Structures are given as C-alpha cells and as structure tokens.
C-alpha cells in the first residue's frame, strides 16, 4: 500500500448547492467530480433549505420511533497493549425509540474531554469496558416516498436499472439502507 508523503493529500470538499443545482442528482455529482471532489474519496453536500426529505421531522415521538431495528450489534472488544480482538454479538430486536432511550443513558454518554485528542485517548483507554451497541444495517428509508429530489430509493442512476431491468436487489447498494 502506498502512503502519500508528498503533503498534497486531497482535501474533503464541501458543497452548498442551490435548490436548482441540487434537483438533478447525476448532474450535480458530475459537477462535483469536475471540481476534483472525487480525489478525496468523499465530499460533503449541505442541502439547500428548500429540500425537506421528511415533512413530519425526526422526533422519536413520531412514527420513526416505532421503526424496528431487527438485529442491533453489541461490539465487544478484548485485549491489551495494542493487541485487541473484536466480536459482534447480536442483540434482541428493539424500536428506534428504545434504542434512543438506551443511547441517552449515562453509560453511553460522551465523556468529558478537553479536546479531540483527549477524547480519543479516553476512547482507547475505555474500549474494553463499555461495549457500544450499533443499530445499523437496517433495510429501508426515512425519506418521504413522494420526495423525488435526492431520494436514495430512486436517484436516477445506473443502480436503479440493475433492480428494474434484472430484478437484482442488493441491500445498501441499490436499495436504501439505514446506518
């Protein structure tokens, strides 16, 4: 593996499109690439305020709280002195509301820290004591079905045609997936 030591590592670019620019996903991706955004491997897109992917919002008191996380994963790390092993333990199904309540308990709170270096130090120091639980890898979307701008379920890219033309559905690749 080559390591870039020349000091010209590509920077992650940030884009703030107008709604008009934002409406055509493929065209905007082409524009981002023309600006060199692809060189860093990712880019940040801040959507325009007119884009509302979910009219009812994101409160856990809404229908979002009733969504199911079928198989939350508890990440257990063991080891010491730089040699660690991680195993994933599948937990029982829970709702997003239950997950939110669990995530807000003091046990999972971000520890007090002075800066990000201090936080990272505390993370590694405590990695074997508090096992995080991930509610990721859930097939589905929380974007309203009638949203046709930047809706991950139908972006108008070649991935849509894999499903439409060949009936091949790959979770998280050509279908929406919640992480």
Dump pLDDT digits (tens) for 103-156.
999 999 999 999 999 999 998 888 899 899 999 889 889 999 999 999 988 888
The number of distinct structural domains making up the chain is: 3
| Same-domain check for residues 76 and 122 | yes
Q: How far apart are CA 150 and CA 24, in angstroms?
A: 8
Specify burial of residue 99 (Cβ count, 10 A radius: 0-12, 13-18, 19+): buried
131 and 67 housed in the same domain: yes
Domain of residue 131 covers: 63-136
User: What does the mean pLDDT of the chain come to?
Assistant: 91
The overall pTM is greater than 0.85? no
Is residue 97 domain-shared with residue 87, that is, in the same domain? yes
Q: Does any domain span residue 115?
A: yes
Q: Tell whether 104 and 161 lie within a shared domain.
A: no
For residues 67 and 33, membership in a common domain is answered with no
| pLDDT single digits (tens) 25-67 | 999 999 999 999 999 999 999 999 999 999 999 999 989 999 9
Give yes or no: residues 122 and 81 share one domain. Answer: yes
In a shared domain, residues 37 and 68: no
Q: What is the pLDDT of residue 174?
A: 85
């Amino acid at each position: 593996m080559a390591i870039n030591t020349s000091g010209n590592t590509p920077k992650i670019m940030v884009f703030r499109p107008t709604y008009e620019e934002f409406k055509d996903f493929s065209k905007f991706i082409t524009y981002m690439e023309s600006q060199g955004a692809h060189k860093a491997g990712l880019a940040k897109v801040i959507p325009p305020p007119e884009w509302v992917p979910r009219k009812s919002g994101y409160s856990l008191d809404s229908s979002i709280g009733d969504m199911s996380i079928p198989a939350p994963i508890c990440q257990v790390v063991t080891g010491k002195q730089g040699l660690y092993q991680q195993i994933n333990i599948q937990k029982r199904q829970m709702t997003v509301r239950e997950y939110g309540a669990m995530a807000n308990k003091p046990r999972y709170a971000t520890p007090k820290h002075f800066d990000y270096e201090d936080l990272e130090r505390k993370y590694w120091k405590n990695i074997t004591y508090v096992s995080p639980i991930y509610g990721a890898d859930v097939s589905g979307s929380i974007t309203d079905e009638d949203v046709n701008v930047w809706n991950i379920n139908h972006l108008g890219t070649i991935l849509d045609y894999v499903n439409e033309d060949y009936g091949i559905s790959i979770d998280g690749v050509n279908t929406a997936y919640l992480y």
